[in-house]
Structure 1
Amino acid sequence: MKECNTTCPYCGVGCGVRAEVEGAKVIKVVGDGDHPANAGRLCVKGTALAETLGDEGRLLHPQLAGERVSWNHAIDTIATKIRQTIETHGPESIAMYLSGQLLSEDYYVANKLMKGFLGSANVDTNSRLCMSSAVAAHKRAFGEDIVPCTYADLDTCDLLVMVGSNAAWTHPVVYQRIVAAKKDNPDKRIVVIDPRRTATCDIADLHLQIKPGSDAYVFSGLLNHLQNNSAIDEEYVARHTRGLPDTLAAIGDLDMDTVAESCGLDPIELNRFYSWYANTDRTVTMFSQGVKQSATGTDKCNAIINCHLATGRIGKSGAGPFSITGQPNAMGGREVGGLANQLAAHMDFSPAEIDRVQRFWEAPDMIDAPGLKAVDLFQAAADGKIKFLWIMATNPAVSLPDSDMVKRALERCEFVVVSDCTEQTDTATHADLLLPAAPWGEKDGTVTNSERVISRQRKLVAPTGEARPDWQIITDVAQRLGLKQYFDYPNPAAVFREHAALSGFENEGSRAFDIGALAQLSDEEYANMEPIRWPVRTNDDDSEPLADGRFYTADGRAKIVPLVPELPQAQNDITVNTGRLRDQWHSMTRTGRVPRLSQHRDFFSISVNPEDAAKAGLVEGDLAQLENSLGMVRGLVMLDPGIARGQSFIPIHWSEQFSTLGKVSQLIPAVTDPVSGQPQSKFSCANIAAVPVACWGMVFSKDPLQAEGIDYWSRIAVKGGYLTIIADGRSPARVAEFLKQALADKKQSVSAYSDAEHGDLREVSSNNGRISHALFLHPDRNALPLRAWLSTLADQTPGWELLAGFSSERPDTGKMICSCWEVGETEIVTAIAAGASSVEALGDALKCGTQCGSCIPELKAILYSEDEQIRNAG
């Protein structure tokens, strides 16, 4: 057995992990106690990393038109297609779409090939969807894309404002750091600004439940309040900024009452927030997707930054605007130029910068203007302008807005290459050529987290099948195109050295991003590189950016950006908000394989306010649909009083691989921010309606059930197979007949039971004494077996007894609350009844809340609910 330190591949926190490897298998993953990002703590997704590995569902070999081909043939095909496409249609007809899941070395080589040697700037990334508005706002205000905070600022600040961030679920390790900091400093105040009451509100001293999209009103009004109450740092503004008078003039009519009315807030609560901010020097504003994923996201980010600049709360301990990223290498992608509107090493498209990069690369076909951003890139493909498209490590058919448009783009594009580790995704089904890419644990490289710390992701085991790392695939294509002298990389360390050298090339302090001191690392030093925060300059001046009040603009001053806030307009019954769940990641190609990660929230559901549900004739667990002019989603109703009237919440994770009509992107129009190009993924409108159901079903199957044609189905992984819930408007008998083909197995032995009068149908099939599938259909969902029992079927003996046995099943553990230790709500309530009266006591009794801590808000809610029931009973 050996241990290896590496970095988690999930969110932008960038947690260090320690993997235990035995032979060719990762058997355990724990937190790295020496890593600065997490000091040993991991969320449940991180602790389950070892369970996501293996060859199940993996893409093992290159496939051309569905047939296995050699790597040599695949590389030759790509090179030939690129040459032909450029010769026939010009370089602007080719494009790459990359991912924050790539390593910086992968990103760098792809960016260099496209922008320096193929003459196309049409290379963008799915990070466009999560942080590009922050990038644009940083550049407008600071002159460069600089995040001026670190996680330590969350510890030392006296006021933390969390905007559009459910960090308790999306960045659990950072959230638990905040919890610990508040415990150490009870005077620390926390304000959460969010349209939903989320788990993050558990530690909030104040929750401002604003109308969706009204963030810029709150902060523009705050700037006015600061001016009117003498809370502007006049000296800092005079010495280090420009633009404040124009900005104040643009928002002069936003008084307290106007802001409160526009945002749907109580003026007293709004005034409390403004007063706290005005009187607290050490203030951090941490903002995430709820702010950035907007048609006015850049303005919203600048409205936040404006307040920090006007008060001088930036570039010092415990103060600053802190954009926290969604993906593990969203920051690294920005550093190497992975966005279509930037060059490498934080350079843009000025003539001097184009010339600098061209000389460094010795590039013969250097681009001279930005390319198409993500949504525009796929729209161009749908319009027939993009002829060759290479997609790496992402699933745009699920994640991009207006998924029907994306599907048209993939179908119309003449040649689509998809590099991925998973064979079946919504995007991969449209590929002409599939390339098996090495995922986390099978390749080497670096990532940069939200606080600018560069960490190593290390190869733990040999690639599965014929998988190759992305940098190598791209390098092979470049060499096949005759560019070997420019792409002669023997390993990722060589790529990193070149990336680092470019960052320092003719820099001399003109750019904050500078890791030139790392350009001479040997292969051994690269292999052993410890986490390090940039800048890492050759002159040993590694001071924090902006600490001296000097910005990276032409005059060295920050710009306070004038803006006029806007509100999105609702057009249907329900506004749709989207986001992540606690235990899942992106389109679930990794986390969807782990049974315990599907227990906290299992089947695809739509969360709505109880009053809206009642108005539509819906109760908890009913089947509902949300529909607008773009499309429709169907899901089980989940009542959530933390959602305001007229709003809904839909998780982003479901794809056609896990549910029918579960892609929320089918409801999201392709509206983007005019500055950043980031889509408005957090806001759409739809009508809600009940869906009549004549048959409910539960199916356990050894293999994934292909349930196309059913009105609603959703699938999760369980031990030894999959569990699929079914809802349909046809009778159980007709649904059973419809499913007959999907469940057929010539080698199986079948036992069946049917009560036609009551519509009760049950069927169990086995193969060599093991259950192949177990089917239960009934008009009443409550008459079906519970998930807890169905999840044990892989270990049970098939036969007649099984068909009748679920009525005497073991007690249900209830909704899963703690995924780390698999503790259900029923167990928690029982422990409370036995005397556990605190989160700590529950942890002592059941271990819940003692690992990643992300279940603690729910534990508190159950404790409160049980205590309230006792009080009411008394």
Structure 2
Amino acid sequence: MKLSEQSFIQSAATVRTTCPYCGVGCGVNASMGKDGTLAIAGDADHPASRGRLCVKGSALGETVGMQGRLLAPMLRDADGDGGGALREATWDEALDKVAAGFQRIIAEHGPDAVALYVSGQLLTEDYYVANKFMKGYVGSANIDTNSRLCMSSAVAGHKRAFGEDVVPGCYEDFELADMIVLVGSNAAWCHPTLYQRIARAKEARPHLKIVVIDPRRTATCDIADLHLPLKPGADVALFNGLLAYLAQQNRLDAAFVAGHTTGLDDALAAAGQGGNLLEVARACRIDPQLLRQFYEWFAATDKVVTAFTMGVNQSSSGADKVNAIINCHLATGRIGKPGMGPFSLTGQPNAMGGREVGGLANMLAAHMDLDNPDQRAALQGFWQAPRMAERPGLKAVDLFQAIEAGKVKAVWIMATNPLVSMPDADQARRALAKCELVVASDIALGTDTNAVSHVLLPALGWGEKDGTVTNSERCISRQRGFLSAPGAARPDWHIICDVARRMGYAGFDFTAPHEIFDEHARLSAWQNGTPGQRRRLFDIGGLAGMTRAAYDALAPLQWPVLAGAAASLAAQGEEQEAAREAAQEADASTRLFGDGMFSFPDGRARFVATVARAPANLPDGDYPLVLNTGRVRDQWHTMTRTGKSPRLAEHVPEPFVDMHPQDALLWGVKAGELARVVSGWGSVVARVQHGGGIARGSVFMPIHWSAQTASDARVGAVVNPAVDPVSGEPEFKHTPVRLEPFGVNWYGFILSRSELPLLEAAHWTRIQGADFIRYELAGRKPFADAAGWGRALLGVAPHEHGAADDEGADWIEAEDRNGGVYRAAHLVDGRIEACLFVSRRQDLPARAWLAGMFAKERLAPADRMGLLSGRAREQGVDAGPTVCSCFGVGRKTIEIAIRQHGCKDAAAVTACVKAGGNCGSCIPEIRAILAEARAVEN
């Protein structure tokens, strides 16, 4: 996109940076054209992605414009319940209000009466300063992060098993493995470039076995040799059964277990020595033959990588699920060696960096333990902090409950939108409405959370801010700024330091991010490995002492990086590749635990006895279905960024509820119609679909829609707030719900160049188009006076039928009263401004060809007739629903290519129409279309 609305620093050189989305951590090359167009490409030299980007990363240039940006500090003078108006303020006024408010509340109620709620979207330097501010100077551990909602069970599992939060492997292991087990991971959509790396490895080595363990049949199953559609929540039973099976078959590594672990007997006792496969299959609701196949393959294959993500972590027994997986790897010695090991796939771009600096309420910086008094004292001495938090703070769900209860009276929210993303999100709304002081640092002005905040602080976004992130394989990469700060926006670390200094705290005199990174690196080596204490594996002391130039040139590298050649070479200005190689030679390890030494004082790993237990809330007569939540391929979090991209909007434009057709029949809802999903905590409305990959008794909904993008689709409002007792991670994958028909009298859609109030609609979804906004709507109020009703809906001033609103304006319409169909368009000087299509049925015109009308400066007479008839004037112009977002290829285009050119595989389709030729995320869908075509032929 052109950045004419934003000033920017333009350089002839391409800027190497890192994608701000998932935890794969792909390298990005960003360059500015002479016409102000931002070009985005993959960085072929980045070790995580080797030049590949998914469609979200490829579309980054479409998401950096100023539309909807928060550009100045703002204050709400009345209560933060939405009743008071916001007004623009100076930075001094806003910062003084935050500092004074925190100081007053701390003085009156103590340090635990204030809190920070931060995000995996922050850079490590931001995270570090926030943690230092809260734990070392305020003196409370009430700082938690939205990573609590996605990765804290992995953290807990790692610490219980290894003594430290460490991912032992690296991405190369996926290419070296002989078997990859993907558990609760739709990697094809959620970690696309890594998934494509696995797919290429499978293609090169067909004997590589891929097992997908997931209640849904997702796009990831496209390359699977075996899919185990286990009962939601049954992961512990499955892996306990595997552990028992391995013991029965004498496939344990006795030498490794004896020399490097402890606790196997208790873990086996908890798993059940009998290992009755039929009982396990019944508990997991899996075909016994499929289960046996998986167990036999795992037992017979040395090089196994078991990768897990939200389907494992987001559970009231998430930590036990993680440890049940790790137990199987420890028992067979399959850890720390090429092509094997448990692998936590991180959700957010810097969830790992946040964990390194103690961003969770129960951790300290540099992997120190909050409950260890010696490490607390060491950190306090290093920081020269006036006070240190002495006990764990409130985890996310507990934090918002404490806010509602009045125990926490001030909260500062950074780079996240908890009123959408939290479970029981309406409770979070009630909490913030009662809070004395709610501060939000954000890049977006219009969010659910900002609507109830007292102070809004404009932060820098991707492309503007400067710092580091750490991906799933412990690779530290630079996120470099190449756009100047818009408006009055500032870096998050800078804002925190400003508040800290106003509160009288020393130690926050940083002037640039490299200074923060240097302190972070020095701390990682501080008193690390003193006599009687095992070394913490997180150590990047070799990167301490870098100049600003060396920091700016820092190449991606994995930790640990001990003192050695890395920093000196970087300081001498060596080229990136040379610096990277030197760093890896300077004791930076690709894999950890290969020597059998773990982070506990005795050097031994721990087996954790895990017992299969039911989820916290079970279906009953009122709520007999189980709701599972997750992501869609082309969107990220609450769409404040990806929602700006027209091409990302087309693949899944509306919130949906996916369910089995028989369940839909039972509940009286139909595919394509709207239904209300109701739990004991709230409800949402979405369009019913039958994706074909979900079992009876379960439904699935995506998480992305907010109050700005849909009338009633905040899925967090439905999700139950049960949490894992160890990790505090919520149960996003198992909420009992029921469905109710959402009756309407009409369905419709609008394409408009301007925002509309939609007062006549009972339900709507907002979708960003290239030259317009698209609204999908439904309503209950009959449109008896069609002309007046249509004008009101489009915001056009009421005039007599056919009259111009002003000089050069036209209103054209067509109505079939008997058929319940109405169409209207508003034109100015022959250029379409808005159009409306309504029907009592869902047989509405295709949207794609209508979108093309908005690219025209003036409509031809045939175009006007097409608008009224609801049909394109040219045959074949409707490409159908988008399949390939990278190239904008629709389903009908692919179907035509298959028929006309005889395409037999995805490669042939790519050769014909380009679909699948960039990031490859759509290849599973292309293969499904090919399979349907073959079925029709037969």
Using the size of structure 2 for normalisation, the TM-score is 0.91
Aligned counterparts of 1:507 and 1:709: Cα–Cα separation in 2: 64
Structure 1 residue 215, shift from structure 2 partner: 0.7
Aligned counterparts of 1:822 and 1:402: Cα–Cα separation in 2: 36
Match for residue 807 of structure 1 among 853, 868, 871: 871
Aligned counterparts of 2:427 and 2:766: Cα–Cα separation in 1: 26
Equivalent pair of 1:694/1:732 in contact (CA under 8 Å):
no
Aligned counterparts of 2:635 and 2:788: Cα–Cα separation in 1: 34
Alignment-derived partner of residue 763 in structure 1: 824
Equivalent pair of 2:74/2:457 in contact (CA under 8 Å):
yes
Q: Would you say 1:244 and 2:261 are equivalent positions?
A: no
Q: Secondary structure at the match of 2:397?
A: helix
Alignment-derived partner of residue 549 in structure 2: 524
Alignment-derived partner of residue 351 in structure 2: 330
Structure 1 residue 655, shift from structure 2 partner: 0.9
The 1:427–1:173 alpha-carbon spacing in structure 2 relative to 1, beyond 3 Å, is same
Alignment-derived partner of residue 6 in structure 2: none
1:184-222 CA-to-partner distances (Å, cap 9, x unmatched) read: 211111110000000100111100000111011100000
Aligned counterparts of 1:736 and 1:56: Cα–Cα separation in 2: 32
Paired AA for residue 587 in structure 2: D
Aligned counterparts of 1:498 and 1:26: Cα–Cα separation in 2: 37
Structure 1 residue 463, shift from structure 2 partner: 1.4
Paired AA for residue 666 in structure 2: K
Q: Secondary structure at the match of 2:835?
A: strand
Q: Secondary structure at the match of 1:732?
A: coil
The 1:354–1:769 alpha-carbon spacing in structure 2 relative to 1, beyond 3 Å, is farther
Match for residue 209 of structure 1 among 211, 226, 229: 229
Structure 1 residue 329, shift from structure 2 partner: 0.1
Match for residue 35 of structure 1 among 34, 38, 46: 46
Alignment-derived partner of residue 704 in structure 2: 653
Aligned counterparts of 1:706 and 1:317: Cα–Cα separation in 2: 57
Q: Secondary structure at the match of 1:827?
A: helix
Structure 1 residue 47, shift from structure 2 partner: 0.4
Equivalent pair of 2:786/2:822 in contact (CA under 8 Å):
no
Q: 5+ residue gaps in structure 1?
A: none
1:521-563 CA-to-partner distances (Å, cap 9, x unmatched) read: 1100000000010000116433432111011112111000011
**Which runs of structure 2 are paired with 1:406-805 in the superposition (5 Å)?**
406-483=428-505, 485-508=506-529, 510-538=535-563, 540-543=586-589, 544-568=591-615, 569-571=618-620, 572-707=623-758, 710-733=761-784, 743-744=794-795, 749=809, 751-753=811-813, 754-767=815-828, 770-782=831-843, 784-796=844-856, 797=858, 801=865, 803-805=867-869
The 1:475–1:818 alpha-carbon spacing in structure 2 relative to 1, beyond 3 Å, is same
Equivalent pair of 1:789/1:806 in contact (CA under 8 Å):
no
Which deviates more from structure 2 when the two are superposed, residues 595-604 or residues 791-800?
A: 791-800
The 1:254–1:430 alpha-carbon spacing in structure 2 relative to 1, beyond 3 Å, is farther
Alignment-derived partner of residue 829 in structure 1: 895
Aligned counterparts of 2:829 and 2:722: Cα–Cα separation in 1: 54
The 1:838–1:215 alpha-carbon spacing in structure 2 relative to 1, beyond 3 Å, is same
Match for residue 89 of structure 1 among 89, 106, 109: 109
Q: Secondary structure at the match of 1:781?
A: coil
Aligned counterparts of 2:717 and 2:35: Cα–Cα separation in 1: 41
Percent identical among aligned pairs is 49
Structure 1 residue 685, shift from structure 2 partner: 1.3
Q: 5+ residue gaps in structure 2?
A: 1-11, 77-85, 565-585, 798-804
Aligned counterparts of 2:826 and 2:200: Cα–Cα separation in 1: 52
Q: Secondary structure at the match of 1:367?
A: coil
1:93-145 CA-to-partner distances (Å, cap 9, x unmatched) read: 11111000000000000110111111121100000011000000000000000
Alignment-derived partner of residue 848 in structure 1: 915
Structure 1 residue 336, shift from structure 2 partner: 0.6
Aligned counterparts of 1:469 and 1:553: Cα–Cα separation in 2: 37
Equivalent pair of 2:866/2:873 in contact (CA under 8 Å):
no
1:229-280 CA-to-partner distances (Å, cap 9, x unmatched) read: 1011111000000001111112215421111001101111101100111111
Equivalent pair of 1:337/1:343 in contact (CA under 8 Å):
yes
Structure 1 residue 758, shift from structure 2 partner: 3.6
1:724-747 CA-to-partner distances (Å, cap 9, x unmatched) read: 111122223489867765643567
Q: Secondary structure at the match of 1:633?
A: strand
Q: Would you say 1:52 and 2:52 are equivalent positions?
A: no
Q: Secondary structure at the match of 2:870?
A: helix
Structure 1 residue 694, shift from structure 2 partner: 0.8
Alignment-derived partner of residue 390 in structure 1: 412
The 1:217–1:24 alpha-carbon spacing in structure 2 relative to 1, beyond 3 Å, is farther
Q: Secondary structure at the match of 2:825?
A: strand
Equivalent pair of 2:849/2:872 in contact (CA under 8 Å):
no
Paired AA for residue 905 in structure 2: S
Alignment-derived partner of residue 61 in structure 1: 72
Match for residue 271 of structure 1 among 292, 297, 314: 292
Paired AA for residue 570 in structure 1: P
Paired AA for residue 41 in structure 1: R
Paired AA for residue 553 in structure 2: N
Q: Secondary structure at the match of 1:408?
A: helix
Aligned counterparts of 1:115 and 1:274: Cα–Cα separation in 2: 46
Equivalent pair of 1:114/1:123 in contact (CA under 8 Å):
yes
Q: Secondary structure at the match of 2:433?
A: helix
Equivalent pair of 2:810/2:826 in contact (CA under 8 Å):
yes
Paired AA for residue 737 in structure 2: A
Aligned counterparts of 1:122 and 1:658: Cα–Cα separation in 2: 31
Structure 1 residue 24, shift from structure 2 partner: 9.8
CA RMSD of aligned residues (A): 1.7
Aligned counterparts of 1:88 and 1:802: Cα–Cα separation in 2: 68
Aligned counterparts of 1:210 and 1:258: Cα–Cα separation in 2: 13
Structure 1 residue 501, shift from structure 2 partner: 0.5
Alignment-derived partner of residue 162 in structure 1: 182
Aligned counterparts of 2:395 and 2:299: Cα–Cα separation in 1: 38
Aligned counterparts of 1:339 and 1:558: Cα–Cα separation in 2: 23
Q: Would you say 1:192 and 2:212 are equivalent positions?
A: yes
Aligned counterparts of 1:695 and 1:458: Cα–Cα separation in 2: 49
Equivalent pair of 1:704/1:721 in contact (CA under 8 Å):
no
Match for residue 261 of structure 1 among 282, 285, 291: 282
Q: Secondary structure at the match of 2:343?
A: strand
The 1:769–1:336 alpha-carbon spacing in structure 2 relative to 1, beyond 3 Å, is farther
Aligned counterparts of 1:705 and 1:346: Cα–Cα separation in 2: 50
The 1:481–1:742 alpha-carbon spacing in structure 2 relative to 1, beyond 3 Å, is farther
Q: Would you say 1:401 and 2:423 are equivalent positions?
A: yes
Q: Would you say 1:6 and 2:17 are equivalent positions?
A: yes
The 1:305–1:53 alpha-carbon spacing in structure 2 relative to 1, beyond 3 Å, is same
Q: Secondary structure at the match of 1:795?
A: coil
Structure 1 residue 616, shift from structure 2 partner: 2.7
Structure 1 residue 615, shift from structure 2 partner: 2.4
Which deviates more from structure 2 when the two are superposed, residues 710-719 or residues 514-523?
A: 710-719
**Which runs of structure 2 are paired with 1:320-399 in the superposition (5 Å)?**
320-349=341-370, 350-399=372-421
The 1:734–1:549 alpha-carbon spacing in structure 2 relative to 1, beyond 3 Å, is farther
Aligned counterparts of 2:760 and 2:399: Cα–Cα separation in 1: 32
1:64-105 CA-to-partner distances (Å, cap 9, x unmatched) read: 010001111111111111111111221111111100000000
Equivalent pair of 1:2/1:22 in contact (CA under 8 Å):
no
Structure 1 residue 623, shift from structure 2 partner: 1.3
Q: Would you say 1:297 and 2:343 are equivalent positions?
A: no
Equivalent pair of 2:810/2:828 in contact (CA under 8 Å):
no
